[in-house]
Structures are given as structure tokens and as C-alpha cells.
Amino acid sequence: MQKGATLKDVARLAGVSVATVSRVINGHANVSPRTKAAVERAIVKLNYSPNTIARSLVTGRTGIISLIIVQEDPIVPSTWSYELPLVQSIHDYLKAQDWEIQIAMCSYREFQEPGFLHRYLTRNTVDGVLIMAAWMVERHVVSELKTRQLPYVVLGSHDPDYESICIEYDNEGAIRALVQHLRDAGHQVFGHIGGPTHQLHMNQRLQGFLSALEEFGLPTWQRLTKFGDSNVETGYRVMQEFLAGEPRPTAVVCGNDDIAAGAMNAITEKGLRIPEDIAVVGFDDTVVSQVVTPKLTTVRMPLNKAGVLAAQLLMDELSQPNRERKRIVLPCEIVIRASSLS
């Protein structure tokens, strides 16, 4: 905590009142060039810088945005691969506008707890909130924010009533594109290894998978639609199950790249070839998709765009609150690589 000079010190040195100094600092009109210069000299001389706290006390604003990162419980390292790009782009955008960022990480269980957000916001005086979550944002959370009249944006999910400004990815569309791509290559028997379906995006991917099959008139099999944790082990284990029974899928759509990598291990281990015997596709376009053999067809989410957009919308809301609520669904790009090329 710096101590340094105060307004009063500057005022004394410049031979003016604190009010005038304040005016100079905040660039208000009606200060004569002479006094302005004198004050600025004094500021430099004393190496003065305003006390943010005192300023906040009177203005009622802190210049701080709270970034709440809601996570799986226990934490799944693979989610980091898209969390940090988001944090990064949000950070850069907000910094450029002179906002400070305070982060809070919590499990989705904590976040759903009735008192959590309340306690957090009571302890922390922020001007806006950005919620990064893969879970539905519960009603009481929304109402807590609304009653505080605190501008906020939800990134990665939404609330039950679509009352919040939120940004999501078109998971269903992406999966549909993957299925179409695989069908065009002649595949008929599809398997799906998903992540935890309590995560909104994993659920969307599952739904997208099922409805795409239906749309294209392809059969679905209960035993080829499985879920687990979002990791290599799940992919490996479930793929082994797939391979042990009938029908055997010729194309497997996975909830993320790690799962897909696990599935590939199981396939290769069995002496089968990818994609000749079985095609595999992942999701997220992490580095994993580029180092497995063969390289993995996957989906690239517009993370940077999403982060910046979230920050932008929050800024908009901050400057003119209570405008029309909106939901934005960002399209994703499918990246076709060897694992699905026939």
C-alpha cells in the first residue's frame, strides 16, 4: 500500500484548494491555464497519484470487473485449455479500457449454493460481473444480480428463462456438421462418447449428435451413446466396450479431444486402423488433436471472439443498462484432419 502525497499536499504546494486540484486531475472545465499548470507542476514534484479507494468511496464505482470462473468439481485440467484463452481475451479487452479484473474461481456446486454469490458480492465491490460457466445459471443467481442492479454477462451458458445477456457456442450445429461430414464419407454406424451431461455444452453436443442422426435418417444405438469424465481414460474405456460388442461403430464422435485420444488408443491397440476401420472426431481443437496419430478431426470454438464479445457486451451494459437482453450463439468451425478422411 503506497502512502505518498495526498490531494491536500498538492493543493498546499500549488497554493490552491483541494477542489481545484481535483478538478485538474479529473480534467474538469473552468480551470485557468495558469493554475492548471501550477497544479500539474506540484503533482509531478510530489509524485502524487490519486488514492483509488477514497475515490471509489465517493464516486461509488471501483473500476473493477469480477470474473467468476465456474468449474467442474473436482477440477478437470482439460477445461483449462479453453478457459485461459477466454480469460486472456477478456483480460486484454478490459485492460485496454482501464478496467481491473478480479477473479473468483469456484465449483459449480458452490456457485449454485444460495448464499455464495451473495457473500461474494457483499465482500467485493465491483462494477460488473462476467460469469464463465458451463452450467445453467440458476434463477436465484440471476435475481441476486438483478436486485443489486449489477450489470453482468454469462459466457458459455444461459439461465432457464433467457433473462440474461449470454454468449454460447453452437455445439449442436458443429456436431451436425461433423455427422454430415462422416455420413458423406459413407458412415452409417455412429458412436458417441460424451463428457458429463450435466455440463451444458456436453449435453448440447449429445443432443446435437442425436438430432443430426435423426435428421440424416441414420440409426441410433443405446449402447453406442455413452458418457463419462472428459478425459483420456473415459475414451479408452468406452471405446473398448464399443469394440467388444455389436454393432461396432465405424465413426465415433467424442465430447472433446482428450476423450477422442483415448478412443484412438483403444482402436489402435486392437490392431484396427484410423480412419479406414473406424473414424474418430473430437471437439475443442486442443493441441492434443495435433499430436495424436493420425491427426484428429475436431471443432474449433471461436474462443477469442467469445471472450471479446462478452467483455464488449458487459461494457455496453455498463454504459447503458437494461437494454434488450440478448442471447448470442457463436458458430464453430470444423477442422478436418486425417482421423476422419476416407
Partner DNA sequence: GATCATAATGAAAGCGTTTTCAGTTCAAGA
Partner DNA sequence: TCTTGAACTGAAAACGCTTTCATTATGATC
Residue pointed to by grid coordinates 451436425 = 176
**In the complex, minimum distance from the CB of residue 232 to a second copy, in angstroms, rounded to a whole number:** 6
Looking at beta carbons, which pairs linking 102-106 to residues 24 or more positions away fall under 8 Å?
Answer: 102/64, 102/65, 102/66, 102/67, 102/126, 103/66, 103/67, 103/68, 103/69, 104/66, 104/67, 104/68, 104/69, 105/68, 105/69, 105/70, 105/71, 106/68, 106/69, 106/70, 106/71
Helices 139-147 and 114-123, interaxial angle, to 10°? Answer: 30
**What amino acid occupies position 338?**
A
**In the complex, minimum distance from the CB of residue 322 to DNA, in angstroms, rounded to a whole number:** 22
What is the contact mask toward a second copy in residues 243 to 282, using x (rule: CB under 8 A)? ---------------x--xx-xx--x--------------
Q: Closest CB to a second copy among 106 and 200?
A: 106
Applying CB under 8 A, among 19, 44, 84, 272 the residue interacting with a second copy is 84
**In the complex, minimum distance from the CB of residue 150 to DNA, in angstroms, rounded to a whole number:** 16
Q: What does 222 interact with, of DNA, a second copy, none (CB < 5 to 8 A by kind)?
A: none
Sign of CA dihedral 244, 249, 255, 261: positive
Cα Rg of the chain (Å, integer): 26
Are 340 and 251 in contact by the 8 Å Cβ rule? The answer is: yes
Applying CB under 8 A, among 52, 97, 143, 188 the residue interacting with a second copy is 52
What does the CA dihedral 69, 285, 182, 207 come to, rounded to 10 degrees?
0
**Number of residues in the chain:** 342
Q: Does 57 bind a second copy (CB under 8 A)?
A: yes
**What amino acid occupies position 121?**
L
How many of the other CB atoms lie within 10 Å of CB of 207?
14
Residues 211-240 within binding reach of a second copy (CB under 8 A):
232
Please give the residue ranges that form the binding site for DNA (CB under 7 A). 3, 6-8, 15-20, 22-23, 25-26, 29-36, 48-51, 54-55, 57-59
**In the complex, minimum distance from the CB of residue 176 to a second copy, in angstroms, rounded to a whole number:** 26
Q: What does 44 interact with, of DNA, a second copy, none (CB < 5 to 8 A by kind)?
A: none
Q: What does 8 interact with, of a second copy, DNA, none (CB < 5 to 8 A by kind)?
A: DNA
Q: What does 96 interact with, of a second copy, DNA, none (CB < 5 to 8 A by kind)?
A: none
Binding residues for a second copy, rule: CB under 8 A, are 1-2, 49, 51-54, 56-57, 60-62, 64, 75, 77-78, 80-81, 83-85, 87-88, 91-92, 95, 98, 100-105, 121-127, 148-150, 232, 258, 261-262, 264-265, 268, 286-288, 290-293
